[in-house]
Amino acid sequence: MQRDSGLSKCAAESEDVAVRDVDALRSSFLDSMASNSTSVHVVTTGTGDRRFGVTVSACSSVCADPPTLLVCINTRSPANVALAENGVFAVNLLNVAQRGIADTFAGRSATSKPFDFSCCTHTAGTLGVPLIDGAVAALECRVVAQQVIGTHTVFFGEVAAITRAPVTHMPLLYCKRDYGQFLAF
């Protein structure tokens, strides 16, 4: 197919910034997303010995009517299976002092056992799921839909109950592969 010469010139000029090779595109995607600052959450589900928690940045509000959010969890994570089976989960929005808890539920703590709930104090919420003490907010959800996209499952949760800390609690943030905190201009 003949291309408009103006378009060809434009395409040639943008060759250095446009990434088309599959591996390079993946790597550029990860680097781009790493520049996206997010809050840090621990998604919890289950009770007793069947408790699971996983650190998650991929969490978003979906709508307020009804209050609904989504989380994306790797299909390889044991929390993924548990969450699908239980049909309920909590999103614990960590506060800025809870970095150690984030590392534990990401399986990368140097001090405590990976994914071990003894790294934090917690109570059972109205849906029976673990709510981490001191979280900026803990939102208890019922799964209303789920969809596997590539390596992750997107779980849509309708919020049934919310526990909130005092407004002075600030959220833990993650950006450029490191933790940080919010500073208003």
Ligand X SMILES: Cc1cc2nc3c(=O)[nH]c(=O)nc-3n(C[C@H](O)[C@H](O)[C@H](O)COP(=O)(O)O)c2cc1C
* Residues within the interface to ligand X (CB under 6 A): 40, 54-58, 72-74, 77, 102, 106-107, 152, 174
Is the separation of the CB atoms in 26 and 43 below 8 Å? no
Please identify, using beta-carbon distances, which residue of 50 and 108 lies nearer to ligand X: 108
Q: Which residue is nearest to ligand X (CB)?
A: 58
Is the separation of the CB atoms in 121 and 135 below 8 Å? no
Alpha-carbon separation of residue 26 from 18, 23, 29 (angstroms): 13, 5, 5
Instruction: Take residue 159 and report the two structure tokens written for it.
Output: 């919020």
Query: Minimum distance between the CB of residue 12 and ligand X, rounded to whole angstroms?
Result: 37
Please identify, using beta-carbon distances, which residue of 36 and 126 lies nearer to ligand X: 36
Please identify, using beta-carbon distances, which residue of 33 and 124 lies nearer to ligand X: 33
Query: Minimum distance between the CB of residue 53 and ligand X, rounded to whole angstroms?
Result: 9
Query: Minimum distance between the CB of residue 17 and ligand X, rounded to whole angstroms?
Result: 27
Query: Minimum distance between the CB of residue 9 and ligand X, rounded to whole angstroms?
Result: 40
Please identify, using beta-carbon distances, which residue of 102 and 141 lies nearer to ligand X: 102
31 phi and psi, to 5 degrees?
-65, -40
Helix, coil or strand: residue 111: coil
Burial of 112 (0-12, 13-18, 19+ CB in 10 A): middle
